[in-house]
Each structure stands twice: as C-alpha cells, then as structure tokens.
Amino acid sequence: DAKTTQPTSMDCAEGRAANLPCNHSTISGNEYVYWYRQIHSQGPQYIIHGLKNNETNEMASLIITEDRKSSTLILPHATLRDTAVYYCIVRARSNDYKLSFGAGTTVTVRA
Amino acid sequence: DVKVTQSSRYLVKRTGEKVFLECVQDMDHENMFWYRQDPGLGLRLIYFSYDVKMKEKGDIPEGYSVSREKKERFSLILESASTNQTSMYLCASSAPLYSNQPQHFGDGTRLSIL
C-alpha cells in the first residue's frame, strides 16, 4: 500500500468546517483512498472512500486532487462528537485484505 | 447501515482460561476479520475468513483460533489466555475484495487477562 502522511493534530471550532489533509504521493492507479475515524474507546468507523472523483455522503466530502497525490476530508459542520483520530489509508482492492492504520490526525472540536 | 456486533465491550478473564469472543454482522458479508489494537503497535490482523468454514492466518495467529460455522458469525478463541493477550479486539466484515467496499468494524472488546 502507498504510504500516507497526515498532520499529527488539529483543532476545529464547533459548527465550522474541518478540512483534514492527507498526502499520498506514491499512490498507484488501482489504489483507493479510504477515510476512517476512531472515537476514544470505540471501534474504527468508516467514513468515505474514492478513487479519483470527489465523493460526498451524509458524513463528509472527499476531495482528491487531479494527480491523486493528495486528498482532503471535509466535515462540513463539525460537532463535539466529531472529536476523534482520523485515518487516511490507500489500498488496492484486488487481494489486499489487511487494514493498517498510521498515526492519523487527532482532531479536537472545541465549543 | 452495516452493523457489526461484538458480544462484550469489556471482559476480564484469568490466565489459562479459554476465552470466546463472538462477532455477528448483518450485511451478508463474505469476509470477516479479527484484529487486535495496542498502543504504539496499531492494528494487527489475527485471522481472516472469506467464507463459511474458511480461514486464513493473519500476522499474529499464535495463541488464537477462529470458527466460522455460519456466514454471519465469526468467533475468536483464546485457547489458554495469557497476560500478553490483554488488548482491544476488533471484529470487522466486508464485501468481496474485488468490490472495493470498505471494512466495517464493531465497537471492540476490551479484554483484560489477570
């Protein structure tokens, strides 16, 4: 899997958009970008994934640059419940069944 | 929504006991996984099952076994629990690998072996 780089931590004000960057400059053509988050003492929660087009669901939006070397997860209106560690992963879909998370970004949403 | 349910959130057992962790998913997923997560070591795959009665070892299978008798249920067994198996255990499920669909996790079982 391609390596990803994320900032260690970031703060966000409640009600504002949170923009979480991820660098994956060695991504290959068949690798997807996935985002998960893990709230303290809970299991990881899938957020969104994409290949090259921007994606949006009820939780977030995923913006992937045209060269696919980086992406941004956008939480449109952050709430205190969005405080968590956010993980960006790139994976090929073929035979790669093992997930591994890096250090992720610790996001703290402040009132 | 996908629902992966683990039988216990917290469990305390004694050294040498046989421990069963149960996981059920409601999305008819072919694949099911058991991971453990430890501070500084991240997520490590213990076992993976791609069909009923089928299993593959992950990175750290020693001291563990698994059972998948029904598609929706995947059990992790600690044959003789030891203190170094104190950890957070996470079950996940997914559609076939070629589908590019994500793995979905349960809430985890925090297991303490005394």
pLDDT confidence tier of residue A3, bands split at 50, 70 and 90: confident
| Residue whose C-alpha is closest to residue A97's, from B107, B86, B30 | B30
CB–CB of A44 and B48 under 8 A? Answer: no
Report how far apart, in Å, the C-alpha atoms of A78 and of each of A55, A102, B32 are. 18, 23, 32
Question: Count of residues for chain A?
Answer: 111
Question: With 80 as the cut, is the pLDDT of residue A92 above it?
Answer: no
Contact between B43 and A94 using a beta-carbon 8 Å cutoff: no
3-class DSSP state of A15: coil
Q: Name the residue among B50, B100, B108 with its Cβ closest to that of A43.
A: B108
Q: Of the given ranges (A2-16, A72-86, A90-104, B59-73), which has the lowest mean pLDDT?
A: A90-104
In whole angstroms, what is the distance from residue A59 CA to residue A39 CA?
Answer: 15
**pLDDT tens sequence across B14-65:** 999 999 999 999 999 999 999 999 998 889 999 999 999 999 999 999 999 9
For residue B109, which of B4, B14, B28, B17 has the smallest C-alpha distance?
B4
Residue A83: both structure tokens together: 């405080």
Residue B103 touches partner A, C-beta closer than 8 Å: yes
Chain B residue nearest residue A31, CA to CA:
B100
Say which DSSP state B7 is in: S
Beta-carbon separation of B106 and A43 below 8 A: yes
Tell me, what's the pLDDT at A77?
95
Q: What is the pLDDT of residue B12?
A: 98
Contact B87, B78 (CB under 8 A): no
Which of the two residues, A96 and B24, has the higher pLDDT score?
Answer: B24
Least confident of A96-110, B12-26, B62-76, B77-91: A96-110
Q: Mean pLDDT, chain A, as a whole number? A: 92
